[in-house]
């Protein structure tokens, strides 16, 4: 298989890939980077639009990707690069053995307003690890979509992408304005449910089988005023021990799996 080798971090393509570590450049170019064998395998399985796959020349092509490379399973350009290039393009102290450049998908809105939709909507959740974990939990619990509202970390931030562990390829994740989307959801018959330590209802008493948008805010700030005004019902996760609260990813996961229990195992 013929492939290009790039050794210098000053190469124009390397400069371009490095620019994708910054949100405004990802937005302008409509491209982003994923790192590591597992994420690339998930992208290939999901038939994502992979433009280049770049691997560390010293370590060689990862064995798990050899079949795909030699059979043309991913319609991507394969490039080998020096360790210096790998480090520069991923911005990590320990460069991964492989990274890929992908075109951002056009996310379908079809599943947002369905008769049984379960959608997770995040408001001002800035931590990439939390957002990535919530996307993984939404995927695991069979949610229909995740919406990232204003003030949330960018989905294509390298840390967010890493922490989704590939789940970003499994369900629609839409970045949008909740003050526009929540009224549409309500008009389509969905309930907008938030969490509150002052809520009267336990999350186990709520009927998660109805179309629901679960609205979660950051731990430090909670929901923004405009978004909070659109909540139909608040629930509380009952807790027995001395902990004051759960972090937003854990709380969302508890609620998602109660929804799954009611919808599939009741």
Q: Can you tell me the distance from the alpha carbon of 90 to that of 167, in angstroms, rounded to the nearest whole number?
A: 20
- Kindly state the average pLDDT of the residues 86-95: 89
pLDDT digits (tens, 9 = 90+) for 109-156: 888 998 899 999 999 999 999 999 999 999 999 999 999 999 999 999
Q: 99 and 182 share a domain?
A: no
Indicate if 115 and 92 belong to the same structural domain: no
- Does 114 lie in the same domain as 99? no
Q: Any idea what DSSP says for residue 153?
A: P
Can you give the CATH number for the domain in which 210 is found?
A: 3.40.1280.10
Cβ 168 vs Cβ 135: under 8 Å:
yes
**Same structural domain for residues 82 and 192?**
no
Domain shared by 58 and 189, yes or no: no
pLDDT at residue number 74: 67
Q: For residues 124 and 221, is the Cβ–Cβ distance under 8 A?
A: yes
User: Domain span at residue 239?
Assistant: 110-264
Q: Which of 1, 29, 10, 3 is nearest to 156 (CA)?
A: 29
* The model's pTM: 0.94
- In this structure, the answer to whether residues 98 and 126 fall within a common structural domain is no
Q: In which residue are the tokens 């950051």 written? A: 218
Instruction: Report the CATH number that the domain containing residue 21 is assigned in CATH.
Output: 3.30.1330.30
Distance between CA atoms of 100 and 79, rounded to whole angstroms?
A: 10
The answer, yes or no, to whether residue 33 has pLDDT greater than 70, is yes
Contact 144, 119 (CB under 8 A): yes
- How many Å apart are CA 182 and CA 134, to the nearest integer? 19
Instruction: Please give the order of strands across the beta sheet that includes 50-56.
Output: 4-6, 77-81, 50-56, 98-103, 31-35
pLDDT at 257: 98
The domain total for the chain is 2
Q: Are strands 191-195 and 212-217 parallel, antiparallel or unpaired?
A: parallel
Do 31 and 136 share a structural domain?
Answer: no
Residue 91 sits in the same domain as residue 152? no
Render 36-104 in DSSP notation, one character per residue. Answer: SHHHHHHHHHTT--EEEEEEETTT-S-HHHHHHHHHT-S-SEEEEE-HHHHHHHHT-SS--SEEEEEEP
């Amino acid at each position: 298989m013929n492939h290009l080798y790039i050794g210098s971090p000053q190469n124009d393509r390397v400069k371009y890939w490095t620019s994708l570590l910054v949100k405004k450049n990802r937005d302008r170019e409509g491209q982003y980077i994923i790192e590591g064998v597992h994420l690339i395998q998930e992208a290939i399985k999901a038939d994502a639009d992979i433009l280049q796959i770049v691997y560390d020349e010293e370590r060689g092509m990862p064995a798990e990707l050899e079949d795909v490379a030699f059979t043309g399973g991913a319609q991507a350009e394969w490039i080998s690069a020096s360790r210096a290039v790998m480090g520069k393009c991923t911005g990590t102290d320990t460069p991964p053995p492989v990274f890929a450049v992908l075109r951002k998908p056009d996310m379908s809105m079809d599943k947002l307003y369905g008769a049984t939709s379960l959608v997770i909507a995040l408001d001002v959740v800035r931590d990439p690890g939390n957002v990535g974990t919530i996307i993984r939990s939404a995927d695991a619990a069979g949610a229909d979509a995740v919406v990232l509202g204003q003030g949330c970390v960018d989905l294509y931030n390298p840390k967010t992408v890493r922490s989704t562990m590939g789940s970003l390829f499994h369900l629609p994740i839409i970045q949008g304005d909740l003050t526009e989307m929540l009224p549409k959801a309500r008009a389509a018959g969905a309930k907008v449910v938030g969490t509150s330590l002052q809520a009267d209802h336990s999350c186990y008493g709520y009927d998660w089988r109805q179309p629901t948008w679960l609205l979660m805010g950051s731990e430090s700030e909670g929901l923004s005023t405009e978004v909070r005004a659109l909540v139909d019902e608040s629930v509380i996760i009952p807790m027995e021990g001395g902990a004051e609260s759960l972090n937003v990813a854990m709380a969302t996961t508890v609620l998602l799996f109660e929804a799954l229990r009611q919808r599939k195992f009741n």
